Chains A and B, each alone.
Chain A
Amino acid sequence: MSKKILCFFMIVLITVSLFGCGKPSLNRYEAQYLDVFDTATFVISYNDSQETFDAQTRLIHEELMKYHKYYDIYNDYEGINNIKTINDNAGIAPVKVDSAIIELLLFAKKMYQLTDGKTNVALGSVLKIWHQYREEGLEDPAKAKLPSLQELQDAALHTDINDVMIDEKESTVYLKDPLMRLDVGAIAKGYATERVSMLAKEQGFQSGLISVGGNVRVIGMKGDTGELWNVAVQNPDTENTEKPYLHLVNITDHSLVTSGDYIRYYVVDGVRYHHIIDPVTLYPSAYAVSVTIVCKDSGVADALSTALFNMSYEEGLSLIEGITDTEAMWILPSGEEKFSSGFEELMTK
């Protein structure tokens, strides 16, 4: 008789496993692009068909490309006045621009206030110098040099965000200081990611993830599984293959943005100089190796990740704890990890 009992349990087990293996009705699709915001963009979605996914990614790509052109500071595009056009006309004339630029710059001013100037889109004159030295150093590493403090301090005289004159009624932007340059690199990707994600959501992108160079925005759950999205924060020690990522963060309808110093850099006399410049010292910021922000809006997350990178952990913590539904994680130069009060609740235990 014990065999019969065993048999019964086995039948139950097999039946349960068969039902458990039932395929979900939505499939996972992925696409990637390299032609927007000078970075790698990934789109992941759970969808009923490849056709639906293709239509959604077409919209996402087209929209990202639109913002890429508007927010570009290096290239001209026919028939478009972009940030470069505004820079080219500094001290000369107001430039008529699309509302996407006006709204970005108004948002940038808000972020400047929120971060006490640690995220400043008017820092372009300083960032331009670093960009030039970095490009030359990468082109010919033997001749890589650092800019002089004098050169940087001279440029820093032209970084007052109040000189960015925005006329919402006329839809124009004018840089009052002729030597001022806008550089929206610290906020544009995140801001564009947020706007595109919201538009895509309205158009039926209900279960997806968009990542534009480390600016991740997730929408809904993973298909019809009811599971949260798992976004991993990379280990800054990229050669550590045993531990490629430090933590897995579980989110829905939120953004996760990481700023780090370990991928984009150039080397002068054996020392790495990364791309995030502290507006106070005018040199690459040295407070952290990586800062991750989780909050709803990807634009805010992008601005805050740069801001926290440019301030001490204590200052950053005090800023983050004052903003609702916003969490942060730091990896300090010592390798020590720090978290805001609610960050660890988001992590896979």
Chain B
Amino acid sequence: MFIKAIYKYGDKMNFFKKTDLLIIATILIVSALSFGIYQLFLGGSAARAEIYYEGELVESIRLERGEEKEFSVPEAPSVVFHLWPDCTISFSQSDCPDQVCVHAGRIGTVGEFAACLPNKLVLKIVSDGKDEKEAPDIVIGN
């Protein structure tokens, strides 16, 4: 049937009508624009920040663009976390002497982590949904 079809239109090689191409192009442009708008205003980073106390998950926050706040978890009230508008999060204050958690800075990429040993806290960034092939499994520094 397809061979017939190609044969039938073969002399002009005209598989698609102009309107079909127009519809396809419109769909592609609208999709690209919606994706862009979604990513820019609503999409955030598709990542979550998880906070663990003694190995147990005690807080999980979606990293949303534009959102900013400081907060603590009940298990460690002397530690303050800062959620930044650019989808990053950090230990902003801690009563630990070495300040290693604060020195770790702002993190927001899947695979990044920061830890405060004296307060038994781990802050790590995980994917909010699908596994991305090119995402780091872990980000290593020292």
Does A pair with B? Answer: yes
Chain A residues at the B interface, C-beta cutoff of 8 Å? 1-6, 8, 28, 30-34, 38-40, 42, 44, 135, 138-139, 209, 211, 213-214, 216, 222, 227, 229-234, 236, 238-239, 241, 244-245, 248, 256-260, 262-265, 290, 292, 348
Q: Cβ of B135 < 8 Å from any Cβ of A?
A: yes
The residues of B that contact A39 with a CB separation of less than 8 Å are 115, 117
The residues of B that contact A230 with a CB separation of less than 8 Å are 111, 134-137
- Contacting residues of chain B (68-112) with chain A, CB-CB under 8 angstroms: 84, 86, 88, 97-100, 103-109, 111-112
The reply to whether B99 and A258 contact each other, CB–CB distance below 8 Å, is no
Q: Cβ of B41 < 8 Å from any Cβ of A?
A: no
The reply to whether B55 and A238 contact each other, CB–CB distance below 8 Å, is no
The reply to whether A290 and B141 contact each other, CB–CB distance below 8 Å, is yes
- Among A42, A234, A244, A262, contact of B108 (Cβ-Cβ < 8 Å): A244
Distance A231 CA – B137 CA, assembled complex (angstroms): 6
The reply to whether B137 and A34 contact each other, CB–CB distance below 8 Å, is no
The reply to whether A1 and B8 contact each other, CB–CB distance below 8 Å, is yes
The reply to whether A2 and B17 contact each other, CB–CB distance below 8 Å, is yes
Q: Answer whether A229 and B137 are a contact pair too, CB < 8 Å, given A138-B97, A139-B97.
A: yes
Q: Cβ of B22 < 8 Å from any Cβ of A?
A: no
The reply to whether A238 and B103 contact each other, CB–CB distance below 8 Å, is yes
Minimum distance in angstroms from A185 CB to a CB of chain B: 12
The residues of A that contact B1 with a CB separation of less than 8 Å are 4
Q: Answer whether A248 and B16 are a contact pair too, CB < 8 Å, given A4-B5, A34-B115, A239-B106.
A: no
Q: Answer whether A263 and B117 are a contact pair too, CB < 8 Å, given A241-B108, A348-B134.
A: no
